[in-house]
Amino acid sequence: MAEFPESIGKYKIVSLVAKGGMGAVYKAMHPTLKRHVIIKKLTIRGNAIITERFRREAQILLDFNDPRIVHLFDYFKEGNSHYIVLEYVDGMSLDVLLKKRRYLSGPLALHIFIDACRALKYAHDNGVIHRDIKPGNILISKSGSVKLADFGIAATDDESDDGLTKEGMTLGTASYMPPEQFKNTKNVDKRADIYAMGVMLYEMVTGKKPFPGNFNPETLIMIQKGKFESAKRVNPETPPVVSRLIKKMIRPNPKKRYKDMGAVIKIVDKYLRRYQTDALHQCLIDCMNTPNFEEPAFRPRTKKRVVALSLAVFLLASGGAGWWAWKNGYVHRYLMSDSWGAVKVAVRVPVAVKDADDVFIKAKLYVNDRKDFPDAGSGSISFSTVSGSQDDYSHRFESNTLYVKPGSYRIKIFVEQRIYWHSFTVDPISSLAKKGLSQTLVSVSFDSVVNRTIALRTEAFDALNGRNVTSATAWTVQEGGEWIPLEQLPPERLVTGTVRKFRAEAPEYYPEAFSLKIAPYQDEMVLHANLVPLPGTLRVTAPKKRMSLRLNGSSEIILGGEDMARSSLESFKGGDGEWSLPSGRYDLEVWSGKSLVRTDFIVAPGKTTTIVIAGTGGKMHIEKTTSN
């Protein structure tokens, strides 16, 4: 007998991948795309938090669009089970590759690692903390594509309102968790993921974890103090850049780790430029697909580096010092201060907009000839956070110093979605020095975040059969402590930067409520409600003899109530039976020996449908009545 069903929904099942107490994982065929997919099934009953996390994972992946994160094809509910349909990655997970290879060379490890970093940065930029980074959740296809998977315990910006992670709760895989995640998973931020990535990188280049796997008080103290044997000592061939990355990424104090994956990516990308990407990629494919493959010794592009170094020495000897002095403004300030001016741009941005590392700022300087506005030729303008400048209200940024001829200028400054135009005059450096100034300062204040109107779409479906009930659903929103129809809320009241509570209600269904924190730039929202039908009662009276019941072709039934738990009709052997069922239309089959009678009926909310089975043998018949 097969260990798996022939099909689930519209998907034909190919094989059972894994099975556990909470559900199963299947490999299946997509009916229209004609490609393999993975179906995750959740069958656990009575645990609303686990069910909501399963649905939350689907919602997170639905909003994602990055080639390095597994793609979501579908999410649906059938009977008492929830299903997620995901991209099938034909290859192996990183933990399987490490078991096969034990450890990887520094260049090859970083070749895999940087794609995982970019996937994680995309998640962080979209307000999602993974919280379960480990080699088992890094998938590698046979063609060498690296993908991040399993957002089952991920946290989002609005989780503070949904109660899925409570104060003091611990979630994650212990070997990869930072000290703060052991204490309280609820309040960890993206630095917890950065810590786990550091542990994973250590394992990739050494073949072992930095801390023992048997978690006892002594091990926990080691984790809290950050005491572990350096990767370089375990594997002397570990590149110094990898050792430095690991050391900073898994510091026990989150404030001393990298604040953003962008900083890690920048370091790894700079290191990998020394190697041929195609060669690393082909090596990864061969490591996965070729038995007993011996990884080659990768060498940096030394020839080009030697040529570049020789050229740099020559330029330095023949005038490089002068070029350096010009580039850094020493010539302008001390030798030509009457002919040149200096400009610096300062920008202030409220902390409510974004974290300092994520704020987008760009600027372009033009000559103000009041006609064509040609480029000022000042070179690129870059911005950095002013050290120690963050207060409770704003971040401060400053540009590099620009050296231009004295005169009239205009500057275009992009700060997030805003554009600023500033006209100003640049005086010679010598004139400014007489006033006690070193440069012309152009200041821009973002002032405040302007809330924007939200584009809202609502939809509702029957949680039992997936039927679209949007047209019959009324949506309300909480305003001033009262629930009012959504259409009565003025558009200017539905804006970004607020917390809103919504409720979906339809006749003969339980209402469903949403509590959402809307970030300043999330100006489009889709509310999708799965409404559970209100229950009625089915009462069956029959002779006490051997018989069996089938409801909608099955002996298993979904009970009424918001949890939609399952039960069985097998225990009914005649007499009186009573079940609470979701409202709707049903087909009933009654078997007694070889005799069969059928009927259909409707269960209405709050009402009782009574079915009386009379007669014996082949003369059985059904009487049914409905009462309040």
Token pair belonging to 558? 């979904």
**Quick count: other Cβ atoms within 10 Å of Cβ 512?**
20
For range 201-224, the mean pLDDT? 84
Is the same domain home to 19 and 74? yes
Residue 220, in any domain of the structure: no
For 476, the token pair is: 């309300």
| Annotated active-site residue in 63, 74, 95, 132 | 132
101: which 2 tokens? Answer: 């290879």
Q: Is the pLDDT of residue 142 over 70?
A: yes
Is residue 172 pLDDT above 90, yes or no?
no
Mean local confidence (pLDDT), 280-295: 88
Q: In the predicted model, what is the mean pLDDT of residues 548-559?
A: 87
Q: What is the mean pLDDT of residues 566-583?
A: 87
What number is the average pLDDT over the span 261-279?
A: 93
Average pLDDT over residues 422-446: 87
Q: Supply the CATH number for residue 507's domain.
A: 2.60.40.1120
Mention every residue, 6+ apart, whose C-beta is less than 8 A from residue 250: 178, 195, 198, 199, 202, 210, 226, 228, 257
SS3 at position 262: helix
Q: Which residues contact 122 (CB under 8 A, 6 or more apart)?
A: 64, 66, 68, 69
Cα 510 from chain centroid (whole Å): 30
Give the domain CATH number at 22: 1.10.510.10
The CA-to-CA distance between both ends of the chain, in Å, stands at 45
In a domain? residue 166:
yes
What confidence tier does 193 reach under pLDDT thresholds 50, 70, 90? very high
Pairing of strands 440-445, 341-350: parallel
Give yes or no for residue 120 having a pLDDT over 70.
yes
Residues 454, 494: contact at Cβ < 8 Å?
yes
Q: Report the pLDDT value the prediction gives residue 166, as an integer from 0 to 100.
A: 44
- Of the candidates 531, 557, 583, which is a domain's last residue? 531
Q: Are residues 112 and 84 in the same domain?
A: yes
The predicted structure's pLDDT at residue 312:
55
Distance CA 297, CA 373 (A): 54
pLDDT digits (tens, 9 = 90+) for 82-109: 999 999 999 999 999 999 999 999 999 9
Query: Quick check: helix, strand or coil at residue 505?
Result: strand
Segments forming the whole domain that contains residue 562: 535-627
Residue pLDDT, tens place only, 615-627: 765 677 887 776 6
> 214 vs 495, which has greater pLDDT?
495
What is residue 573's predicted lDDT score, i.e. its pLDDT? 80
Q: Is the pLDDT of residue 410 over 70?
A: yes
132 classed as catalytic: yes
Same domain? 543 vs 527 = no
Classify 246 as helix, strand or coil. helix
The residue among 409, 426, 445 that closes a domain is: 445
Residue 338's pLDDT is 87
463 and 360 in a single domain? The answer is no
Q: Which of 427, 445, 463 is the last residue of a domain?
A: 445
| Structure confidence at residue 379 (pLDDT) | 79
Closest CA to 529 of 444, 586, 458: 458
pLDDT band per the 50, 70, 90 thresholds, residue 378: confident
How many whole angstroms separate alpha carbon 108 and alpha carbon 282?
10
- Counting residues of the chain whose pLDDT is more than 70, the rounded percentage is 88
Using the predicted structure, report yes or no on whether residue 14 has a pLDDT greater than 90.
yes
* Contacts of 462-468 spanning 24+ positions with Cβ under 8 A: 462/509, 462/530, 462/531, 462/533, 463/77, 463/530, 463/531, 463/532, 463/533, 463/564, 464/532, 464/533, 464/558, 464/564, 464/582, 464/584, 465/584, 466/76, 466/77
Secondary structure (3-state) at 511: coil
Q: If DSSP codes are grouped into helix, strand and coil, which group holds residue 590?
A: strand
Q: What 8-state DSSP symbol labels residue 162? A: T
Residues 519 and 566 both lie in one domain = no
> Residue 164 pLDDT more than 70?
no
409 shares its domain with 514: no
Q: Is residue 163 one of the residues assigned to a domain?
A: yes
Task: Compare 490 and 546 and report the one with higher pLDDT.
Answer: 490
Three-class secondary structure of residue 385 per DSSP: strand
Tell me what percent of the chain is helix, strand and coil, each rounded to the nearest 5. Answer: 30, 35, 35
Q: How far are the Cα atoms of 90, 311, 443 from residue 421, in angstroms, in the given order?
A: 52, 42, 11
Mean pLDDT across 176-202: 88
Query: Which residue, among 349, 112, 109, 404, has the nearest Cα to 231 in the 3D structure?
Result: 109
1 pLDDT exceeds 60? no
Mean pLDDT calculated for residue range 374-382: 83
What is the bridge-based pairing of β-strands 535-542 and 608-614?
A: parallel
Name residue 367's beta-bridge partners: 409
Q: What is the total count of domains within the chain?
A: 4
Q: Same domain, yes or no, for 381 and 506?
A: no
Within this chain, do residues 201 and 93 fall inside the same structural domain, yes or no?
Answer: yes
Instruction: Provide mean pLDDT across the span 520-533.
Output: 84
**182 pLDDT exceeds 60?**
yes
Please state whether the predicted TM-score (pTM) of the whole model is above 0.75: no
Q: Are 575 and 509 in contact (CB under 8 A)?
A: no
pLDDT at 124 over 90: yes
Torsion sign (Cα): 158, 161, 167, 173: negative
Tell whether 256 is covered by a domain.
Answer: no
**Tokens 């645990």 sit at which residue?**
47
| In-domain check, residue 218 | no
Query: Phi, psi (5° rounding) for residue 430?
Result: -65, -35
Q: For the CA atoms of the chain, what is the radius of gyration?
A: 32
Please write the tens of the pLDDT for every residue from 56-77.
888 889 888 898 999 999 999 8
Note whether 41 and 145 are same-domain residues: yes
Cross-strand bridge partners of residue 411:
365, 422
* Chain centre distance of CA 436: 51
Please tell me which residue, 193 or 21, carries the higher pLDDT value: 193
- Segment 269-273 mean pLDDT: 93
What is the structure's pLDDT at 344?
A: 92
Do 525 and 606 sit in the same domain of this protein?
no
* Band of pLDDT at residue 40, cut at 50, 70 and 90: very high
Residue 88's pLDDT is 94
- Find where tokens 């990424």 sit: 249
The pLDDT of residue 390 is 53
- Region 200-220: mean pLDDT is 85
63 with 182, same domain: the answer is yes
Note the residue count of the chain. 628
How far apart CA 34 and CA 32 sit, in angstroms, is 5
Q: Could you give the dihedral angle defined by the CA atoms of residues 268, 270, 275 and 276, in that order, rounded to the nearest 10 degrees?
A: 90
Residues 399 and 467 reside in one and the same domain: no
Residue 127 lies in a domain: yes
Q: Of 308-312, 564-568, 587-591, where does mean pLDDT reach its minimum?
A: 308-312
Mean pLDDT of the chain: 85
Nearest 5°: CA angle at 582, between 580 and 584?
125
CATH of the domain at 598: 2.60.40
Determine, yes or no, domain membership for 306.
no
Residue with tokens 């069985």: 568
pLDDT at 316: 55
Among 17-26, 255-264, 390-399, the range of highest mean pLDDT: 255-264
Residue 253: inside a domain, yes or no?
A: no
